[in-house]
Structure 1
Amino acid sequence: MILATEEDARRWVSSRPLPSGALEQLEALAPLLAVENQRQNLVAATSLDQFWLRHIADSLQLLWVSRETLPAGSWLDLGTGAGFPGLVVAIASPEREVTLVESRATRAAWLRHAAVELDLRNVVVVHQRLELVETIEAACISARAFAPLNKLLRLAARFSTPDTIWLLPKGRNARQELLEMPNRIQTMFHVEQSITSADAGILVGRGCPVIEKGRKR
């Protein structure tokens, strides 16, 4: 199933088992994003006309794309930027603590503002480069356009455990990035089809990767 329109995306989101009030919070996120996008370039302006498809459904699918049930526990979103997927995950999973890591001060400030406006008490915003973030054990780790896979895993492996689920939207480069990794990483991950684009893939994996700096194979 590939969602093609805003109507498709809204219908799909509405069909998800979301907590009470979540749809209203997602609705409220749209004008917050539009206003802030005039101050700083959070997302492509053209994507605001496809808010439910490009940002909400694209983020929300991570909760169901895995072949396995996602483990309970904290969620770590790397390079959150405009808040996708982190803010959407926090809305859909209020029982989880969702940590949003963002190195740019203006974007971190926006994330804190959005969390307050949406009453997301489960959100923690960390304004630091990932290398300087205190190590925590995350049940789930996500990253949307944060870094090439080799670098991402090398920087973020210390936050994972043998049971951690990785959810990494990689667009049309998903399969190629995985093929360029060592065999042990290729067996750890698989590619899932994104429901928001026929050309896009999501890398899904479980475990604690070991990456040797400067080596791919």
Structure 2
Amino acid sequence: MIVSRETKDRLTIYGDLLGRWNSKINLISPATLPYLQERHFDDCLQVSEIAGGTSGLWVDLGSGGGLPGLVLAISSSDTDIKFKLVESDKRKAAFLRTVVRETALTNVTIVNERIEALSPQNADYVSARALAPLRQLMAYLALHMAPSGKAFLMKGVLWRQEVQDARKTWNFDYIAHPSRTEAGAAILEVTGVRHGGA
């Protein structure tokens, strides 16, 4: 994905902070640090490309080190989308706030709470990466996504199995966008979540 100079500069600052903080708190696997751009940033930028939104509320669940939430907020800083990054770990939330401050992002709020304790967000967009099995994520989407909202869930090679498992309890529609950074992985664009299932 081609990004603006401003986005590139902000991602560089974010990457430097990630490298510095990662030795103190486990934000990403240390083995992936040398491949930050390809393994993490490019991976998350795909979501921004697929979503293509220009306004509304975007809630990123279990933000951790800010993937994909911070990358999405950085790449969408010229839009009217407001981002809420939800992270229950105090130290990780402090890291996220540091990045927001250092990159001068004005479109992001960090929420240091548990996902299930948060009041319903009625979000236009929801995202999550490496957070929980799809079945569990559905409960979060039912709670926090607007009826007309879309979720973008980054899933590994076992995503088909996760869809089958989730469908035992939940009804939902989805489009699987093949990942460009990991063979067999997918970004699931999920809509119409409702309790039910097979």
Partner of 1:117 in structure 2? 102
Partner of 1:79 in structure 2? 62
Q: How does 1:25-174 map to 2 (within 5 A)?
A: 25-65=10-50, 69-70=52-53, 72-94=55-77, 95-174=80-159
Partner of 1:195 in structure 2? 180
Measured at CA, do residues 199 and 157 of structure 1 come closer, stay the same or move farther in structure 2, by a change above 3 Å? same
Check conservation: 1:150, 1:211, Cα contact below 8 A: no
Q: Comparing 146-155 with 80-89, which one deviates more in the overlay?
A: 146-155
Measured at CA, do residues 184 and 162 of structure 1 come closer, stay the same or move farther in structure 2, by a change above 3 Å? farther
The amino acid across from 2:76 in the alignment is S
**Aligned partners of 1:173, 1:99: CA distance in 2, in Å?**
28
The TM-score with structure 2 as length reference comes to 0.91
Give the secondary-structure state (helix, strand or coil) at the position aligned to 2:195: coil
Check conservation: 1:79, 1:100, Cα contact below 8 A: yes
Partner of 1:10 in structure 2? none
Give the secondary-structure state (helix, strand or coil) at the position aligned to 2:147: coil
Check conservation: 1:174, 1:191, Cα contact below 8 A: no
The TM-score with structure 1 as length reference comes to 0.83
Partner of 1:22 in structure 2? 7
1:44 Cα deviation from its structure 2 partner:
0.7
The amino acid across from 2:92 in the alignment is R
The superposition leaves residues 156-178 of structure 1 with CA deviations (integer Å, 9 ceiling, x where unpaired) of 31221232111000111212111
Asked whether 1:176 is paired with 2:164, we answer no
**Aligned partners of 2:195, 2:39: CA distance in 1, in Å?**
31
For structure 1, list consecutive stretches of 5 or more residues without a partner in the other structure: 1-12
**Aligned partners of 1:44, 1:103: CA distance in 2, in Å?**
19
**Aligned partners of 1:92, 1:199: CA distance in 2, in Å?**
25
Give the secondary-structure state (helix, strand or coil) at the position aligned to 1:139: strand
Check conservation: 2:179, 2:187, Cα contact below 8 A: yes
For structure 2, list consecutive stretches of 5 or more residues without a partner in the other structure: none
- Select the residue among 178, 195, 198 that pairs with 1:211: 195
Q: Specify which structure has the higher proportion of strand.
A: 2
**Aligned partners of 2:53, 2:103: CA distance in 1, in Å?**
24
1:71 Cα deviation from its structure 2 partner:
6.3
CA RMSD across the alignment: 1.9
1:200 Cα deviation from its structure 2 partner:
1.1
1:115 Cα deviation from its structure 2 partner:
0.6
1:129 Cα deviation from its structure 2 partner:
0.7
The superposition leaves residues 52-107 of structure 1 with CA deviations (integer Å, 9 ceiling, x where unpaired) of 111111111002235xx546311100000000100011111123111000111110
Q: Percent identity?
A: 33
